[in-house]
Amino acid sequence: MRDGFEVVFLRSAGDGHRLVGHTTANEESVLWSVGYDVTLDAAWRTVAVHATTLTAAGGREVALTRDAADRWVVDGEPRPDLDGCADVDFESSAVTNTFPIHRLDLVEGKAFDVSSAFVRADDLRVERLDQTYTLIARSDEGLTLHYESPTFEFVCDLIYDGAGLIVDYPGIAVRDL
More confident residue, 30 or 12: 12
Q: Do the bridges between strand 46-55 and strand 77-78 make them parallel or antiparallel, or are there none, so unpaired? A: unpaired
Q: Looking at the DSSP assignment, which residues form a beta bridge with residue 144?
A: 137, 159
Mean pLDDT in residue range 58-63: 94
pTM recorded for the entire structure:
0.92
Q: Which long-range contacts (CB under 8 A, 24 or more apart) does 134-142 make?
A: 134/109, 134/110, 135/106, 135/107, 135/108, 135/109, 135/110, 136/108, 137/108, 138/106, 138/108, 142/167
Rounded distance between C-alpha atoms, residue 60 and residue 117, angstroms: 17
In sequence order, what are the residues at sequence separation of 6 or more whose Cβ sits closer than 8 angstroms to the Cβ of residue 57? none
- Measured from the Cβ of residue 166, the count of other Cβ atoms closer than 10 Å reads 24
**Number of domains observed in the structure of the chain:** 1
Phi, psi of 54, rounded to the nearest 5 degrees: -135, 125
Mean pLDDT in residue range 36-60: 94
| Amino acid at the residue 137 | A
Contact predicate 6/21, CB 8 Å: yes
Banded model confidence at residue 1, pLDDT cuts 50, 70, 90 = low
Question: Which ranges of 30-169 does DSSP label H, i.e. alpha helix?
Answer: 99-103
Banded model confidence at residue 55, pLDDT cuts 50, 70, 90 = confident
Judge whether residue 39 has pLDDT over 90.
Answer: yes
Banded model confidence at residue 124, pLDDT cuts 50, 70, 90 = very high
Our separate counts of H helices and E strands in the chain read: 1, 14
Query: What is the extent of the structural domain holding 131?
Result: 2-174
